[in-house]
Amino acid sequence: MGRHLDLIESSLPRVIRAELDAAWTSLVEAGFSDDESEVEAVMQPLRFELEVLHPRYVRSSFLVMLASMMEAALTDIGDSWADFVDHAPFSDLPKRRDEGFIGRFARFFREELTTPLNIGEDELERMELLYGLRNKLAHNGGRPLSEEDRRKFERWGREVPGITYELNFLSFSEDFVRHTFDVVRDSLSRLVTDVRVLRDSHARESSPQA
């Protein structure tokens, strides 16, 4: 996914420049290049589409994909860990009211497995934010469907660097997307390492003595 993100971000400036150049060429060929009002009538909405809407759609899609991958990976990690210690799987843990997926995952380790979770609080907060964004982007298209949504979007726009809420839509900076990806990648990498250590330990304990 890291290569996919690099491809997305590296292609955006080229696409924007190519489309703006093509529009300018069309204006020149049509004889409107000296007509400032005609130029602005064409270029202003095109710039908005390319510089605001296009990055929003592309980055939103990446965040939805990242969140879905994160959810699947954490579910598999939780179930695998539980299996090694003869515990009911994470996927069977009932959700509490007003509890997000990441909160439930952390509670599973804290209360059910009584095992330290190798993810920091700031990382858990970013992962919980990503999961909440996924739901709003996938189901709402990044638009508020209620007054509660609107207040939440406004708070994210005020408090989270890289999130913008304007014109009734959520938008994201490249830095926000990259940082979120780094948090998910690094957190999952540590958990996978921990599961492998647990698996190897379990295998040694289960093997017959020589």
pLDDT > 70: percent of the chain: 82
pLDDT at residue 201, rounded to an integer:
79
Average of per-residue pLDDT across 73-102: 93
What is the C-alpha to C-alpha distance for residues 177 and 156, in angstroms, rounded to an integer?
14
pLDDT at residue 51, rounded to an integer:
63
More confident residue, 133 or 145: 133
Statement: residue 78 has pLDDT above 80: yes
Q: Are 4 and 62 in contact (CB under 8 A)?
A: yes
Cβ neighbourhood burial of 87 (10 Å; 0-12, 13-18, 19+): middle
**Rounded to two decimals, what is the model's pTM?**
0.79
Statement: residue 151 has pLDDT above 80: yes
- The Cβ-side half-sphere exposure at 165, using a 13 Å CA radius, reads 20
Angle between helices 174-206 and 2-29 (to 10 degrees): 160
Q: Are strands 169-172 and 163-166 parallel, antiparallel or unpaired?
A: antiparallel
Select from 146, 101, 140 the least CA-distant residue to 124. 101
Average of per-residue pLDDT across 168-196: 93
What is the C-alpha to C-alpha distance for residues 27 and 32, in angstroms, rounded to an integer?
5
- Residue spans of the domains in the chain: they are 2-206
Local confidence band at 210 (pLDDT 50, 70, 90 cut-offs)? very low
Q: Are 129 and 179 in contact (CB under 8 A)?
A: no
Local confidence band at 139 (pLDDT 50, 70, 90 cut-offs)? confident
Tokens of 201: 């330990």
Q: Are 65 and 138 in contact (CB under 8 A)?
A: no
pLDDT digits (tens, 9 = 90+) for 12-47: 777 777 777 776 677 677 776 676 776 677 667 666
Statement: residue 108 has pLDDT above 70: yes
